[in-house]
Structure 1
Amino acid sequence: MTTPGVWTTRRDAQVGAGWANRPRYALADFATLLWRERVLIGAVFAVLFILGMAAAFSMKTKYPAYASVLVRLGQEYVYEPRAGDAARGAVPDSDQLIQSETEILGSVQVKQRVINRLGLTRIYPELGKKYAKADPAERRLIMGEALKALESSLAIETAPDTPIIRVGFEHPDPRTAALVLNTVLEEYLIYRRDILGDSASPVLEQQRQAFESRLAAADAAYEDFLNYNRIGDFASEKASLSQLQAQVQQQKLQVDAQLQDRVGRLSALNRQFAQVSPEVRIYRDVNPAGADKLVDLKVQREDLLSRYRPDSQPVRELDAQIAHMEQAINAGRTTGDSAKRYGVNPVYQTLQTDKIQLTAEVAALREQQTALAGQLDQLLQRRLRLAQLEPRFQELSLDRDVLQANVRDFTVKEEESRAAQQIAAQTNDNVRIVARAIPPTRGKSLKKPVAVLALLFAGFTALCAGLVRMYLRPGLPTPRTAARTLQLPVLASARLKGA
């Protein structure tokens, strides 16, 4: 089979029985086919490359400034519960701490503070000029663009288990880059005080005042309870009542024992009293006539002896009288009472005195026993009354104790919070700037990378355009393609002549 030219139309190619609708190319055909599309490829490459180079050379050189911040655990990260002691002293780990500080450093509020402090014209002069001429609605859009540009130029880097945050900022002006970065760090230190500072002092004060109000009401109820029930100190009175009851009980037991003793002694004394005579003889006078007579007789005998002999009749008669008198005296016949005196028996008197004393003591002890019994009954009634009042007293006391503890705790927390705010407002001990930014001397430019990318993109796009144009051309471009597609040998080929 012969073909009229190099390019065979699809209508003629469809005559072959083995033709498959789509040309079949070999790898060796692409070089020839792409060379035929060299004009299109060159045009596309030139246009894209020129545009890419123009974009590369239009890019400005930016100067990156760098700084670093040291972050350590501070008091503001230590958990202090508002009430109770649950989880007191809990702290985050180092990664959470660094992440928190990074979020604060990269927040929009810090960037807005920097723009407000330095001015939009100082950072981005072009946007500053537009901002000065714009209306309020456009100003918000321009400020959003400035924040977006500032965020894209600000780089914050951290490393695991490292308490250092590295911050970088790029700007066409090296001095502005260093100034903006240092201002970011300064505003970050100020803003973090507002974020991490304990803002609960007013709430603590309100809660403390509420507890104080409730405590005043509880104190009033407590005082009314004590005054109404005539109680000075419930606990002291309860203890004193117990002690006093024990003392009275002991006294009553002692009085009972003494009363039994006095009653027993009085009974014994009454028995003895019936056996004792109320009178007793005090003394008696004995008549000495017999003795005197005997003495007279003996005197007479002596007188007779002076005149008579002892055996004379008168002497013997007188001796007989003396002997008879002595017998009578010895027999008691001559003895008699001349006078007698009786008086009160001292034993009877003593018994009577003891009886009177014992009777009085028994009466006194009975009265004392009755009085002690009445006191015990009063003490018991008072203690029973206190026992009835104790639940209410315990309730009021518990309320007062709880409220007093709450007032004390919230007062302490309020003072600690106020002190922490004052300290935090003056210093940032746990966050320190390790290295401040200085104006960089070497800038960074994307001209070369953009130029290389423009070259690669232009070449790739041009090649793709050539391939697309090659596939879109009708017919079979080469004899080999025709033979491969139609599965028929090509015997000869001829170039098409122009019309």
Structure 2
Amino acid sequence: MRAYDPAPRSDWAARPRYAPSDFVVLLWRERFLMLAVFAVLMILGTLAAFSLKTTYAANSSVLVRLGQEYVYEPRAGDAGRGAVPDSDQVLQSEVEILGSAELKQKVIDRLGLARIYPELAKTYAGAGPEEKQVITAKAIRAMETSLKIGTAPDTPIVRLSFEHEDPKVAALVLNTLLEEYLVHRRRVLVEVDAPALLTQKRAFETRLAEADAAYEAFLTSNRIADFVAEKAALSQLQAQVEQQKYQTEAQLQDRSGRLAGLRAQMGQVSPEIGLFRDENNTAAQKLVELKLQREDLLGRYRADAQPVRDLDAQIARLEAGIAAGRTTGEGARRVGVNPVWQTLQTEKFQMEAEVAALRQSLTALNEQLRQLTDRRLKLAELEPRFLALSLDRDVLQANVRDFAVKEEQNRAAREIAAATNDNIRIVQRATPPARGKSLRKPVFVLAFLFAGFTALCAGLLRMFLRPGLPTPQSAARTLDLPVLGAAPMKG
């Protein structure tokens, strides 16, 4: 049958109108094209499906719990000490460690590239340094593709799966990965701060040595053994000296007053006094002698004898003179030092000595106070520099002590972590899988569907691209005119 072309003009642009029944007829016309496309794609898909190899997936699981390495220990100070992340954060960090490329590199180095990927190992043997790096990167990417790490919400379990063509190699790689993971995570979580702490500690120790040298040079240049002790001792000594000065001034005033009083008293007391005086008793003795002579005369004469009367007359005149005081005169007189004046003079000398001593003591105390004041002023002038040096030294000592403590704590933590992994438990170790899986059937089905869909699309495209009106029915619908007859196309 020949397609009807009612308008041979070049400017005719009527669009054919189709019905569902037309598609069956038109597609049947393109059956050879569709069959060819389907056959080609199906052959290619079949070859691709049968080229796929069977892989074996080894499975394992790990229990992750919160451990000491996740407890926050600040490097300096105590802010935030003891803070811990939640379980999901801990789980995600462990998953990241499990999926790290460095861990896969350790597995390849331990087992050898030839045991895991023999084909890459053959290329690796004859490659250069740069090509070896590329091949190693390909092996790591292949491991990343074959390794599956999965978690579930609110479950501290990490499930791992590794696919390989050899079931024994799959189990071996996965078990080796877990063993290296237990070692690698300790270095990542525990040992990461050790070099930084040691470096910072050494830096603080160097700065502390410099601060100690500056501190010692400051004390030596200013002749200070202990600044704080010397300052306290100077304050105490100055207080004592001032107290002694006040006491000395009071004693000086007292002694000066007493000395003035002694001097006034000495002006009123005579330096000399009479010790004793001898009286003149010559008349009395003469009288006694005359009376003795009279008695002697009475022994030879009578009482009315002339010698006796003359002697009586002498006695009477002598007695009358004695009675009148004409016969009394001063005798020998002895003069000496007044003991009162002497005592006053002794006390005066003592007071003058004490006053001189007190004045010398007061002068010495004033000189001591001047020296103490100058020294305290000097220390007050040096105190800001001393406080700055002491503060730097104390801060550096505290930092060195803190970092030394942290270093010991980290060392203990590393040793404990090296001995055990209490928060990480391997629930299930990998075993060689008995059954493998292959994508041959899914790929074959997908190839069949893709080949059929592509062949159908090719037929539709060829159908729509043909010129003219393909069927009488399409021509009648397109031109809105009845078709009275149709003739087959001539060859």
The interval holding the TM-score normalised by the smaller chain is 0.7 to 0.9
Which runs of structure 2 are paired with 1:138-177 in the superposition (5 Å)? 142-177=135-170
Distance 1:9 1:196, change over 3 A: same
Distance 1:463 1:391 in 2: 95
- Give the counterpart letter for 2:61 in structure 1: S
Q: Deviations over 1:170-202 (max 9, x none)?
A: 223322221111111112222333433435545
Please report the TM-score for the alignment, with normalisation by the length of structure 2.
0.78
Distance 1:253 1:48, change over 3 A: same
Alignment partner of 1:358 is 2:368:
no
Match of 2:225 among 228, 232, 250: 232
Q: What is the root-mean-square deviation in Å for CA atoms of aligned residues? A: 4.0
Which runs of structure 2 are paired with 1:262-281 in the superposition (5 Å)? 262-278=255-271
Q: State whether residues 169 and 177 of structure 1, in contact with CA within 8 Å, keep that contact through their aligned partners in structure 2.
A: yes
Distance 1:121 1:207, change over 3 A: closer
Q: Deviations over 1:151-184 (max 9, x none)?
A: 2111111234443322111223322221111111
- Give the counterpart letter for 2:108 in structure 1: I
Distance 2:130 2:271 in 1: 136
Distance 1:337 1:72, change over 3 A: farther
Alignment partner of 1:486 is 2:452:
no
**Tell me, what secondary structure is at the counterpart of 1:274?**
helix
Distance 1:455 1:217, change over 3 A: closer
Distance 1:113 1:226, change over 3 A: closer
- Give the counterpart letter for 1:156 in structure 2: I
Distance 1:458 1:239, change over 3 A: same
Distance 1:441 1:379 in 2: 97
Distance 2:396 2:427 in 1: 48
Distance 1:144 1:240 in 2: 75
Distance 1:90 1:260 in 2: 75
Deviation, 1:482, is: 0.8
Q: State whether residues 65 and 440 of structure 1, in contact with CA within 8 Å, keep that contact through their aligned partners in structure 2.
A: yes
Q: State whether residues 42 and 448 of structure 2, in contact with CA within 8 Å, keep that contact through their aligned partners in structure 1.
A: yes
**Tell me, what secondary structure is at the counterpart of 2:366?**
helix
Q: Deviations over 1:24-50 (max 9, x none)?
A: 112232223223333443443344344
Which residue of 2 is the match for residue 301 of structure 1?
none
Match of 1:21 among 14, 20, 26: 14
Q: State whether residues 2 and 489 of structure 2, in contact with CA within 8 Å, keep that contact through their aligned partners in structure 1.
A: no
Match of 2:391 among 398, 402, 410: 398
**Tell me, what secondary structure is at the counterpart of 2:462?**
helix
Q: State whether residues 3 and 489 of structure 2, in contact with CA within 8 Å, keep that contact through their aligned partners in structure 1.
A: no
Distance 1:53 1:210 in 2: 69
Distance 1:251 1:15, change over 3 A: closer
Q: State whether residues 7 and 476 of structure 1, in contact with CA within 8 Å, keep that contact through their aligned partners in structure 2.
A: no
Distance 1:243 1:86, change over 3 A: same
For this pair of structures, how many residues does the alignment match? 456
Q: Deviations over 1:393-428 (max 9, x none)?
A: 334333433443343344334444444444444444
Deviation, 1:258, is: 1.3
Distance 1:43 1:166 in 2: 47
Distance 1:375 1:135, change over 3 A: closer
Distance 1:168 1:406, change over 3 A: same
Distance 1:269 1:392, change over 3 A: same
**Tell me, what secondary structure is at the counterpart of 1:232?**
coil
Which runs of structure 2 are paired with 1:173-212 in the superposition (5 Å)? 173-199=166-192, 201-202=194-195, 204-212=197-205
**Tell me, what secondary structure is at the counterpart of 2:453?**
helix
Deviation, 1:436, is: 1.6
Deviation, 1:456, is: 1.9
Distance 1:225 1:458 in 2: 93
Match of 1:109 among 82, 97, 102: 102
Match of 1:118 among 98, 111, 115: 111
Which residue of 2 is the match for residue 445 of structure 1?
438
**Tell me, what secondary structure is at the counterpart of 2:163?**
strand
Further displaced range: 170-179 or 350-359: 350-359
Which residue of 2 is the match for residue 459 of structure 1?
452
Gaps of 5+ in 1: 1-5, 294-327
Please report the TM-score for the alignment, with normalisation by the length of structure 1.
0.77
Distance 1:364 1:96, change over 3 A: same
Match of 1:100 among 85, 88, 93: 93
Further displaced range: 413-422 or 444-453: 413-422
Q: State whether residues 20 and 485 of structure 1, in contact with CA within 8 Å, keep that contact through their aligned partners in structure 2.
A: no
Distance 1:41 1:464 in 2: 8
Which residue of 2 is the match for residue 66 of structure 1?
59
Distance 1:142 1:389 in 2: 70
Alignment partner of 1:8 is 2:3:
yes
**Tell me, what secondary structure is at the counterpart of 2:175?**
helix
Gaps of 5+ in 2: 289-321
**Tell me, what secondary structure is at the counterpart of 2:159?**
strand
Q: State whether residues 67 and 422 of structure 2, in contact with CA within 8 Å, keep that contact through their aligned partners in structure 1.
A: yes
Alignment partner of 1:369 is 2:362:
yes
Further displaced range: 429-438 or 200-209: 200-209
Further displaced range: 135-144 or 169-178: 135-144
Q: State whether residues 16 and 486 of structure 1, in contact with CA within 8 Å, keep that contact through their aligned partners in structure 2.
A: no
Q: State whether residues 69 and 435 of structure 1, in contact with CA within 8 Å, keep that contact through their aligned partners in structure 2.
A: yes
- Give the counterpart letter for 1:7 in structure 2: R
Match of 1:434 among 427, 440, 459: 427
Match of 1:55 among 31, 48, 51: 48
Distance 1:91 1:135 in 2: 47
Distance 2:351 2:23 in 1: 151
Q: State whether residues 2 and 490 of structure 2, in contact with CA within 8 Å, keep that contact through their aligned partners in structure 1.
A: no
Deviation, 1:483, is: 0.3
Deviation, 1:92, is: 4.7
Distance 1:222 1:139 in 2: 58
Which residue of 2 is the match for residue 245 of structure 1?
238
Q: State whether residues 278 and 332 of structure 2, in contact with CA within 8 Å, keep that contact through their aligned partners in structure 1.
A: yes
Distance 1:476 1:127 in 2: 60
Q: State whether residues 198 and 420 of structure 1, in contact with CA within 8 Å, keep that contact through their aligned partners in structure 2.
A: no
Distance 1:171 1:220, change over 3 A: closer
Q: Identity of paired residues, percent? A: 67
Q: State whether residues 198 and 421 of structure 1, in contact with CA within 8 Å, keep that contact through their aligned partners in structure 2.
A: yes
Deviation, 1:254, is: 0.9
- Give the counterpart letter for 1:263 in structure 2: S
